[in-house]
């Protein structure tokens, strides 16, 4: 079982903790309080804290969703965005996990795989995918994590009216979220799954893992070419920033294909616009986000949060 690195320098705790708590003293706290729509109860000194950690974190929409849901449920709780650079996660983790009223942490890029060796335990999907997007405090004080991106993605597809079973799928991007999505698609019964990634060896490694776990799914690697596929998935960050290149070949879409993007902000990416113009059905990143957020909330002991 993976273990956290021990704290070897206690003097680093205070500035790390204050770096996390400082947003609560100013604009972030007022913003979070304002997002608790429909609830007049203020955030008190007994509030339970949750965090989302990412780099960049300014593009995430989790604070709006979670804090509005806390407000509707009448909970004295708040989720705050925490900007931690990719190489600083291990250092920040030692301080964050010692904040006693911090109950859970949501991970976004680029931390979903890097957090794994820092945890005391992993759920079955996290062990399979080698990535985590939600972490909770255990009764013994340790921290354990699970991965909901994949199941949330499949739930989002189904909510949009698209059943993946029997589809020929192409997935571009095999990082943290991509790994979870690939396993979830194979579990959901896609007939075939083609994987593509610009990082050497990443798609091949994931294909081997998915094929080993789900031998009835035909898994292959190759070019990011939509032709001949029923379902096309963008699991890369391309589309997050203005001017990003399309993650796969333009002009190769066909009417009736389903094109799904994991990017939530902007919700309409250039990829989805190009696919819609070609007559494809499109599914935005909101579908995956809302699917995984509800699963994450239940994992954190907040079943039913968000409706």
Indicate if 37 belongs to the active site.
Answer: no
Neighbours of 119 (CB within 10 A): 20
Distance of alpha carbon 70 from alpha carbon 33, whole angstroms: 10
Distance, in Å, from the CA atom of 149 to the CA atom of 262, rounded to the nearest integer, reads 9
Q: Which of 48, 111, 112, 179 is catalytic?
A: 112
- Consecutive H or E run containing 51: strand 48-54
String of DSSP letters for 125-189: HHHHHT--SEEEE-TTS-EEEE--HHHHHHHHHHHTT---TT-EEEEE--SHHHHHHHHHHHHHT
- For residue 298, how far is the Cα from the chain centroid? 15
Under 8 Å between Cβ of 29 and 20: no
Parallel, antiparallel, or unpaired: how do β-strands 192-196 and 218-221 relate? parallel
Cα separation values, 304 from 4, 29, 70, 295, 301, Å = 31, 24, 11, 9, 9
Q: Which residues form the catalytic set?
A: 112
């Amino acid at each position: 079982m993976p273990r956290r690195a021990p704290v070897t320098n206690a003097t680093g705790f205070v500035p790390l903790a204050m770096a996390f708590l400082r947003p609560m003293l100013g604009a972030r706290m007022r913003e979070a309080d304002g997002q608790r729509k429909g609830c007049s109860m203020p955030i008190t000194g007994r509030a339970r804290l949750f965090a989302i950690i990412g780099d960049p974190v300014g593009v995430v929409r989790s604070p709006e969703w979670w804090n509005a849901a806390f407000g509707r449920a009448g909970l004295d709780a708040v989720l705050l965005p925490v900007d931690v650079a990719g190489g600083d996660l291990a250092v920040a983790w030692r301080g964050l996990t010692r904040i006693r009223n911090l109950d859970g942490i949501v991970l976004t890029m680029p931390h979903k795989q890097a957090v794994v060796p820092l945890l005391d335990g992993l759920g079955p999907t996290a062990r399979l995918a080698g990535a985590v997007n939600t972490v909770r405090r255990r009764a013994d004080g340790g921290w354990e994590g699970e991965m909901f991106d994949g199941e949330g993605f499949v739930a989002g597809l189904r909510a949009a009216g698209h059943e993946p079973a029997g589809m020929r799928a192409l997935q571009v991007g095999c990082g943290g979220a991509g790994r979870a999505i690939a396993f979830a698609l194979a579990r959901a019964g896609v007939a075939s799954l083609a994987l593509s990634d610009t990082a050497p060896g990443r798609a091949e490694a994931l294909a081997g893992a998915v094929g080993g776990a789900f031998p009835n799914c035909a898994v292959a690697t190759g070019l990011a070419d939509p032709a001949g596929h029923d379902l096309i998935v963008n699991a890369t960050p391309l589309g997050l920033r203005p001017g990003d290149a399309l993650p796969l070949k333009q002009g190769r879409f066909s009417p009736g294909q389903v094109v799904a993007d994991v990017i939530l902000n902007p919700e309409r990416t250039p990829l989805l616009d190009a696919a819609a113009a070609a007559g494809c059905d499109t599914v935005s990143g909101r579908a995956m986000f809302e699917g995984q957020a509800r699963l994450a909330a239940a994992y954190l002991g907040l079943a039913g949060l968000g409706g």
